[in-house]
Structure 1
Amino acid sequence: MEWIQLPLGLLQTNAYIVYNDEKSCLIIDPGEEEKKIRHFIQKKGLQPKAILLTHAHFDHIGAVDSIREWYSIPVYLHQAEKKWLSNPSLNGSSNYEGIQPFVVNQANQFFTKEGEHSIGGISFYLHETPGHSPGSVSFYFKEDGFIIVGDTLFEGGIGRTDLKGGQEGQLLKSIHNKLLTLPEDTYVLPGHGGVTTIGQETVHNPFLNEKRF
């Protein structure tokens, strides 16, 4: 399994394309710049099978409808944010001056619980990691040693919790119980910024001091 990180849009939100030897791929968090996503897919000769969303904040969903329509593929989102795609107040796009309110069509499929999933021949484990938002999830590719965490954990930081539905205590529990329990050499692929590892964040992330739990 291979992956590519594509920083997109004004906020440089990381989209990820995960693909296997058979050229099947999953598109995760297509925030903007659908042409840039399509260019990479065409260049690699990939066959998109689905769009997966770590959560439904506006900077992660801007290209969802255009990509979904272009490839005729379903969109997967956690059920806790079922109404967020079409609601600018929930997805946060109405909170910022100069940003067009985002109204995206409803997801086709909803994650309802943690566990193993296989979509388009690509398997992963879904971890529920709420705190940044109620339906935040992380996609763990165990055999390949990486996890895509959205805005839950960053290199030297954690997700903000001042947006609708955010809870700092819940976020820290998610990180501590779901992420830091993974092997130290697991690559952490965040929604913004550079790639890090579980071991790096366990030792050096100032927000993960045990006294905060």
Structure 2
Amino acid sequence: MKWTMKPLGPIQTNCYILEDETTRKAIIIDPGESFSIIQQHISQNDLKPIAVLLTHAHFDHIGALDDVRSAWHIPSYLHKAEQDWMMDPDKNGSSRFPIIEPMRISPVEHLIHQEQHLSIGPFECEVFETPGHSPGSVSYYFSEDHIIFSGDALFNGSIGRTDLFGGNQEQLLASINDRLLTLPDETIVAPGHGVTTTIQKEKSTNPFLT
């Protein structure tokens, strides 16, 4: 599996485009904004999107979702705890940012009800429930590729904020310690903002965890 990071929008939220090099099928993780950038990458690389995975439903992670689904007629996945956030600007946070129009996004096609294995076309991953930044935050672990897409749970040298609606720092720290830091040290952490890191590095140097 090949993957590409695309920082999008005013908060530079990382959208990830995963591609299977044999079939050219692709999965899009967190299409937060700037649909034209996503579309350009898909077109230039002759990819065939088949699904959208959302780590959570904050506005900067879902902003281009309707455009993505309309362009390629593909389903999206989100944890059930945030199913009503898509249409609620107060919950998805768009009402808190003056530069953002209040955001109302169509409901997702697939709700994640628990930790599970996902098989979508040629892609296989494990869904971990990692709440704390938000109640329905999840992380997607691709074990064969040694990478986890952690959303806004764990960052390079930091952790997600917990002062937004539904945030809980104690819960977030438990999620990180119980679900993320137990992964192999060499696992790449692909976060919702900023640069990638590894589990080993965060165990050793993250000031919120040491």
**TM-score under structure 2 normalisation?**
0.98
Once the two structures are superposed, residues 115-160 of structure 1 have per-residue CA deviations (whole angstroms, 9 ceiling, x without a partner) of: 2110122110000000000000000000010000000000000000
Structure 1 ranges of 4+ moved more than 3 A: none
Corresponding residue for residue 19 of structure 1: 19
Deviation at 1:50, TM superposition (A): 0.6
Corresponding residue for residue 98 of structure 1: 99
Corresponding residue for residue 160 of structure 1: 161
Corresponding residue for residue 5 of structure 2: 5
Unaligned 5+ runs, structure 2: none
CA distance in 1, matches of 2:142, 2:2: 10
Once the two structures are superposed, residues 149-199 of structure 1 have per-residue CA deviations (whole angstroms, 9 ceiling, x without a partner) of: 000000000000000110000000000000000011100000000000000
Q: Counterparts in 2 of 1:53-132, with a 5 A limit? A: 53-132=54-133
**TM-score under structure 1 normalisation?**
0.97
Give 3-state SS (helix, strand or coil) of 2:204's partner. helix
CA distance in 1, matches of 2:144, 2:121: 17
Unaligned 5+ runs, structure 1: none
CA RMSD of aligned residues (A): 0.7
Corresponding residue for residue 205 of structure 1: 206
Identity %: 51
CA distance in 2, matches of 1:108, 1:160: 28
Asked whether the equivalents of residues 50 and 120 of structure 1 are also in contact (C-alpha less than 8 Å), the reply is no
Deviation at 1:98, TM superposition (A): 2.6
CA distance in 1, matches of 2:121, 2:149: 18
Give 3-state SS (helix, strand or coil) of 1:130's partner. coil
